[in-house]
Amino acid sequence: MLCPASCFPLLRDLSQLRCLLGWPRQRGVCVTGTNRPVCHTKPLPGSKYSSAGCLLSLHHSEKPEHEEVCEFRPYTCPCPGASCKWQGSLEEVMPHLMHAHKSITTLQGEDIVFLATDINLPGAVDWVMMQSCFGHHFMLVLEKQEKYEGHQQFFAIVLLIGTRKQAENFAYRLELNGNRRRLTWEATPRSIHDGVAAAIMNSDCLVFDTSIAHLFADNGNLGINVTISMC
């Protein structure tokens, strides 16, 4: 049933109807008068990280997806497998690691050896080291997971203590060397904003199983050559 025109005595043209029904994407307040109506729009709300510098204005349905990957969201402790609940700014990450995770060794230079000791330890194990070069710090991680009983996999990854945009300026190479054998992986480092879990889930890392690890290990210790370069 069509509503007679008398139902909307003040709606003199379509723009008033659009304003009343809220058709524009932005919320508006309709002001009518003797002349043509004017819709004063209210800006869409910003990200919950706007106070940290995010300038985007988002529809409420878009906010959760954006805020999950927003560059301005707080950084969490990048140590894998740790129960550390620390959060803070990028500038506070290294001081946090040096104060709360003093066992992590830092090596200087663009070409170093990451030595993972006792790789035959049972269960899930993480080895972590820092590499400092080109004015930045990189976190080197070797993670062992037990996929199912009797089958273990190793995942080696390099993370930049920095933003995703900064990470795009670098490349890294991981290399295992043994008796007439070589296994190499080259990629762009991940930002610690992405984390180790995301790299493993997307297979964006060096992956090998226990049998491969034993081919390159020496008395249960595995040395990984790590080279960082600028793109």
pLDDT tens-digit profile of 175-208? 999 989 999 999 999 999 898 999 999 999 999 9
Determine phi and psi for 77, rounding to 5 degrees: -60, 125
pLDDT tens-digit series, residues 46-104: 555 555 556 555 556 555 555 455 666 788 999 987 688 999 989 999 999 999 999 99
pLDDT score at 83: 82
Query: What token pair was written down for 146?
Result: 């037990």
Mean pLDDT within 137-150: 90
pTM value is 0.72
pLDDT score at 149: 73
Contacts of 55 (CB under 8 A, 6+ apart): 46
Mean pLDDT within 121-141: 96
Query: What token pair was written down for 1?
Result: 């049933």
Average pLDDT, the chain: 81
pLDDT score at 33: 52
Counting residues of the chain whose pLDDT is more than 90, the rounded percentage is 59
Greater model confidence, 123 or 212: 212
Please determine, for residue 10, whether its predicted confidence score (pLDDT) is greater than 50.
no
Query: What token pair was written down for 200?
Result: 């493993």
Contacts of 174 (CB under 8 A, 6+ apart): 156, 158, 184, 185, 186, 206, 224, 225, 226
pLDDT score at 123: 87
Euclidean distance between CA atoms 230 and 226, whole angstroms: 14
Determine phi and psi for 200, rounding to 5 degrees: -65, -45
